[in-house]
Amino acid sequence: MTKNSNKNNRQLLTFKALIKHKLFIPIAFLVFLLLINIFIKPGFLRITIGRDSNSNPVLIGNIINVLNNATELVILAIGMTLVTASSRGQDISVGSTIAIVGGVVMRVLCGSETQPVELMAPIIVAFILGCLAGIACGIFNGILVSKFNIQPMVATLILFTAGRSIASMAMGGLKPKAVASFGYYGNFIPGFPVPTPILITIVVVTIAFIMLKKTNLGLYTRAVGINDKSSRLNGLNPSLIKFLSYIIMGICVGIAGFVQSSRVQTVNPYTIVPGIEMDAILAVALGGNSLGGGTLNMAGSIIGAYTIQTLTSMLTTLNVNTNAVPVFKAVIIIILVAIQTPTVKSFFSNKVQHSKLTASAGKERD
């Protein structure tokens, strides 16, 4: 009896530890959605070699599409996680600032022409200037939040409102289309079968994790997010940490804007990445991060981004009307976020413990 009781206790403790792991719920959500997609479309996980329009070999499949299409969201989720953790608020301007970045990139590459026959500047120059435009937006938001103590959502509402018009002005009111070679960074490099955005995502994610592992940025960000007054007493500069998080957000926006504009070699500032700011915030929430700041689960946010893209893919497979997709996403995400609340977690934990104790008591009577 004692051995069985100890075994049951160990199993209960292991199960509780598994549930409490910070990545359990994000991974469980993602696996759940993948299983639904497999049920709807049995070949969902199949990856094959196909040919693009130029007969180059490329990887094709639903999983490849999810990984590819989630690139911008994953990159933004990295910056949004730091912003949320440090400033206890969210940057709602990322969609508009992507439009600004795209406008700068297209103006650099196309100049004043609508359809140039060649690029007006090297692509690396366009990439650097696009990132600088993103950093400038991050500096603007960061100053308002860190120096003037304006609430993040209010501070970033300025660029959220004006950003797309600024992007249109940056392009001189035109909608230029760059030459096909610019599309390599948002699609495929000829002769290389893996979509370029996936490679860019791997590089950005790797840099982010190295940065968190090799520096104290994660520790300082959490400390400031939990209590900036206490962190100041311990020698930190809360304003600098918050400002730095918005700078990193700007870099992420710059990279995401470059990839997005490269996908179709043009930018429509008023329709580019609609609603991506909300998806980025939801990715952070699904990753187990508190939207009130003080927590930093970068891996969870990245998984959350892929979860949202998988959900979008599922709704597309089900032929859900495009206008109705946000409604379905909102309902499902509300359920997923609610499951992560302490009240729900405590309820299921108590239920599991009660069922284990009941089963153990039954065996002892036998």
Instruction: Write out pLDDT tens, residues 316-346.
Output: 888 888 788 888 777 877 776 777 666 776 6
pLDDT for res 352: 57
Domain co-membership, 352 together with 226 = no
pLDDT for res 345: 64
Domain co-membership, 313 together with 327 = no
pLDDT bracket for residue 257 (50, 70, 90): very high
Backbone phi and psi for residue 237, each to the nearest 5 degrees, phi listed first: -115, 95
User: Does residue 13 sit within a domain?
Assistant: no
Domain co-membership, 294 together with 236 = yes
pLDDT bracket for residue 7 (50, 70, 90): low
365, pLDDT greater than 60: no
358, pLDDT greater than 70: no
User: Does residue 185 sit within a domain?
Assistant: yes
Domain co-membership, 308 together with 359 = no
Domain co-membership, 141 together with 240 = yes
Q: What is the CATH number of the domain that holds 123?
A: 1.10.3470
Domain co-membership, 313 together with 353 = no
Domain co-membership, 224 together with 196 = yes
Calculate what percentage of the chain has a pLDDT beyond 70.
Answer: 89
pLDDT for res 74: 98
Cα–Cα dist 276/132, whole Å:
21
pLDDT bracket for residue 8 (50, 70, 90): low
pLDDT for res 197: 97
Mean pLDDT of the chain: 89
More confident residue, 355 or 43: 43
What DSSP letter does each residue of 175-230 carry, written as one string? --B--GGGGGGTS--TT--S-HHHHHHHHHHHHHHHHHHHSSHHHHHHHHHH-HHH
Domain co-membership, 167 together with 103 = yes
57-60 and 48-51 strand pairing: antiparallel
List, for residues 269-297, the tens digit of each pLDDT value: 999 999 899 999 999 988 888 888 989 99
Domain co-membership, 353 together with 308 = no
Domain co-membership, 164 together with 221 = yes
Domain co-membership, 289 together with 329 = no
What single-letter DSSP state applies at residue 323? Answer: G
Which structural domain, as residue segments, surrounds residue 225?
21-46+54-317
Domain co-membership, 177 together with 269 = yes
The total number of structural domains in the chain stands at 2
- Tokens at residue 358, please? 């009941």
pLDDT for res 6: 64
Mean pLDDT of 124-132: 97
